[in-house]
Amino acid sequence: MSGRLSTWQAAFVIARRDFVAILWSRSFIFFLLGPLFPVLVGGFAGGIGQRVQAAADRPVLGVAMQAADVSALRAAYDALAPRVGAALPEMTVLKQLEPGEAFDAEAALAAKQANAAAIVTGTLAAPKLTGTAERIAEWQGPVSMLAAQALGRAPKDYPAVSLAAMASSTAQEHHGQIMTAQAGQLLLFLLTMLLAGMVLSNLVEEKGNKIIEILAAAIPMDAVFLGKLFAMLAVSFVGIAVWASAYGGFALVAGNAMPMLPEPAVGWPTFIALGIAYFAMAYLLIGSLFLAIGSMASTVREVQTLSMPASFAQIVFFMLAAFAVSAPGSLYEWIAIAVPFSSPYAMLARAAQSPLLWPHLAAFAWQALCVALLIRGGARLFRTRVMKSGGAGNRGKKRGLFARLSAKPVRAAI
């Protein structure tokens, strides 16, 4: 029993020390509040713009019927609108049909004619409402009431409205999944680049005041790197939790004014869980690279010089993964998945477009292997530089110099 801690025990000690020290620092509080102000201002501006846009692009009920039915329906609308108010959708006449003339309601909706969200065709006795499933379910009652008013029927004698729901096409679903994939990639990239810099700044600070060399002499260097990485990852999760809570509160206040992304192929719960896991892997990958860069730098200026190429390379990897979104299954996507630094972005986009889950297990295993190799390589590089700067030869020279300097006063006194 040597009494030395194992690698994982030492890593836990370092992680707990760094996590507590950073979490209770005043700078971390300001770091948390920093991104909230522009997001808050941008959110309010976006909410105002969304309301203005919604008022300008208010969905209307289109009418394409014969001239007599259109006139009667318009008169019924004018009679009921002052009494019913907002329960009736705004109505516009798209076309007055000739006897026997046909009208393609789905084509008119696809062309966004007159900003119509649904179109009434047929006759007053048998109206037909065409639109999305949500919209026609919402407007079925008002259309039946308008038709009954136009026919002059009793309040309980409403005509049945036949519904024609427009099924979303495969192309539309694919386009929505691409939007979700791009949004997930962008959020993952911004969070990773925003939070990964803490690893580098923490290492350079402790390297400047010689704390890192004391730790390297006491415990394995792999444990130091591993503990620092997971401490910064835990701190990052605290920051993300705070920002997500602020976003949730803002979303509750904004209500329907907040834009909604289409549902990913794996579903929202699985997509969010995969997003958290891929953020952890992306953070560990770029964090281990930053630790290796920090081992080669001794000043803040050197850190900036050495980290700039790595940051630009990370942007290139993100662009590679973003380009692969438009070509699923292509060579570009496989390259983006194979490159460890672009793999989390590419795999998150794949989760938005494909319901298969087993490829994510293989991706996690590959990324974890790359993290282990980067930590081992960075620790070895740092150990080499520490031994080079503080090796036995240098320590002997320092002791000889100290002995000569301390011996001069003695000789003078003699």
Which strands make up the sheet holding 162-165, listed edge to edge?
90-97, 60-66, 116-122, 127-131, 162-165
What mean pLDDT comes out for the span 132-160? 81
Distance of CA 98 to the CA centre of its chain: 52
Of 31-35, 294-298, 358-362, the one with minimum mean pLDDT is: 294-298
Q: How far apart (Å, rounded) are the C-alpha atoms in residues 334 and 324?
A: 8
In this predicted structure, what is the pLDDT of residue 30? 79
Q: How far apart (Å, rounded) are the C-alpha atoms in residues 167 and 264?
A: 18
pLDDT over threshold 70, residue 48: no
What mean pLDDT comes out for the span 231-259? 80
In this predicted structure, what is the pLDDT of residue 348? 94
Q: How far apart (Å, rounded) are the C-alpha atoms in residues 278 and 321?
A: 13
Tracing tokens 């401490």 back to the chain, one arrives at: 231
Structure tokens that stand for 101 in this block? 């003339």
Distance of CA 177 to the CA centre of its chain: 14
More confident residue, 196 or 268: 268
pLDDT over threshold 60, residue 64: yes
What mean pLDDT comes out for the span 259-274? 88
- Sequence-distant (≥ 6) Cβ neighbours of residue 13 within 8 angstroms: 5, 219, 227
What mean pLDDT comes out for the span 254-277? 83
pLDDT digits (tens, 9 = 90+) for 318-372: 999 999 887 888 898 999 999 999 999 999 999 999 899 999 999 999 999 998 9
In this predicted structure, what is the pLDDT of residue 340? 93
User: What residues pair up with 62 in beta bridges, in sequence order?
Assistant: 92, 119
Q: How far apart (Å, rounded) are the C-alpha atoms in residues 148 and 99?
A: 22
In this predicted structure, what is the pLDDT of residue 254? 64
Domains of the chain: 7-44+173-397 (no CATH), 58-167 (3.40.50)
Single pTM value for the model? 0.68
Q: How many CB atoms lie within 10 A of CB 170?
A: 8
Please answer whether residues 267 and 180 qualify as being in contact, where contact means their C-beta atoms are separated by less than 8 angstroms: no
Please answer whether residues 265 and 177 qualify as being in contact, where contact means their C-beta atoms are separated by less than 8 angstroms: yes
Secondary structure in 3-state letters for the chain: CCCCCCHHHHHHHHHHHHHHHHHCCHHHHHHHHCCHHHHHHHHHHHHHHHHHHHHHCCCEEEEEEEHHHHHHHHHHHHHHHHHHHHHCCEEEEEEEECCCCCCCHHHHHHCCHHHEEEEEEECCCCEEEEECHHHHHHHHHHHHHHHHHHHCCCCCCCCCCEEEECCCCHHHHHHHHHHHHHHHHHHHHHHHHHHHHHHHHHHHHHHHCCHHHHHHHHCCHHHHHHHHHHHHHHHHHHHHHHHHHHHHHHHHHHHHHCCCCCCCCCCHHHHHHHHHHHHHHHHHHHHHHHHHHHHHCCCHHHHHHHHHHHHHHHHHHHHHHHHHHCCCCCHHHHHHHHCCCCHHHHHHHHHHHCCCCHHHHHHHHHHHHHHHHHHHHHHHHHHHHHHHHCCHHHHHHHHHHHHHHHHHHHHHHC
pLDDT digits (tens, 9 = 90+) for 217-231: 777 778 888 888 898
Q: How far apart (Å, rounded) are the C-alpha atoms in residues 215 and 413?
A: 41
What are the C-alpha distances in Å from 26 to residues 29, 32, 193, 307?
5, 10, 22, 26
pLDDT over threshold 80, residue 293: no
* Nearest in space to 97 (alpha carbons), one of 124, 122, 118: 122
In this predicted structure, what is the pLDDT of residue 255? 60
pLDDT digits (tens, 9 = 90+) for 85-125: 767 888 888 899 888 888 888 888 877 776 788 899 999 88
In this predicted structure, what is the pLDDT of residue 127? 92
Structure tokens that stand for 237 in this block? 């999760």
In this predicted structure, what is the pLDDT of residue 397? 42
Q: φ, ψ for residue 60 (rounded to 5)?
A: -120, 160
Q: State the angle between helix axes of 300-325 and 268-296 in degrees (0 to 180), rounded to the nearest 10.
A: 150
Please answer whether residues 22 and 28 qualify as being in contact, where contact means their C-beta atoms are separated by less than 8 angstroms: yes
The per-residue pLDDT of the chain, averaged, comes to: 79
Please answer whether residues 299 and 216 qualify as being in contact, where contact means their C-beta atoms are separated by less than 8 angstroms: no
Q: How far apart (Å, rounded) are the C-alpha atoms in residues 250 and 255?
A: 8
